[in-house]
Structure 1
């Protein structure tokens, strides 16, 4: 899909299918992957002021964030699970881009000053327990003044009974209300089913407890979208950071 967007096709859009049968065309078109900084949503542009030092770009897509940061002399490691995204990012000039999932982030990548998770990529944490486990790992692979700049969506910013009912069924199964089970389709291609986590601000703060991270800033957008800046507390889970 990203390669088609780069080639200039104007019929590029994803279909998101949820495990309850709900199907919707993605709100995000080619611009979400290819837009220059001046066309980014305000919440993202404001949050970028808090990116510093060596950066890990999680879920880099076509490399728009990595390219912007490279232009500003940041050292960036960009990762994605899509071979197509990796290829497009390299073609567009991202210098260090790797085929790697969020689960593969570890100390072998070196230490980072900032981890960026734009495009709703906080959702890649998948669920409550996994989010807490990976946040602790992110604490270990970041410097003392490390930050996470991440985008998510409040799933409860809706009055649609289809979505509200889905939240209720999730809770009845012991899942978070906004813990989606989805797959993404484009033309003849489809991803495997995976968990994708949307959280309210209160849920986010609950997830952060004991992980070594605290909520420092919030940049609100439309339709429940928001970007957070997370900073380190003194310690992770009560021990030295």
Structure 2
């Protein structure tokens, strides 16, 4: 199938997504925390998880599957709780790890890259309102009735580049700041990253329980 999206519309969509991704929020804090605690690669992994979850939501929005959000409401609540537990666990592990004391010390890397990927994915995928956001956001730039599979692929590519580039910039800043810090500062950064992850997890759990609005 051919692409029907006008270049101007795609450029506008790209710019809007990049601006929205730059706004500090729980997803940015997660990327920053993983990059500061585990290095740039962990920030990349967390950003990749966010991008994959966003791609799923974009597909749902483009193909008009709004009812999925309602039909799978209970499932999304479970995902939110799983994400909350996972983020809190990552925070506890980071807090206990501390900074390495060997020469050329750097922040400890106690978890795998896949763990960082899951942190980003579960945080984003646990927010069922993201579907509704894309259902309301995309029609402002695209004619939803005429979109093809090629259009969907192009939108996902644009979103991945726009959102991913911004998240990677945050990760680079966090990792760069941590790399230049002295040993004691590294320990403080490690502890700060742990607190951010735990607080993000608690926030996610509270939003799943209805005590707070979702991310």
Alignment TM-score, normalising by the size of structure 2: 0.28
Alignment TM-score, normalising by the size of structure 1: 0.26
Higher relative contact order (CA 8 A, sep 6+): 2
Higher-strand-fraction structure = 1
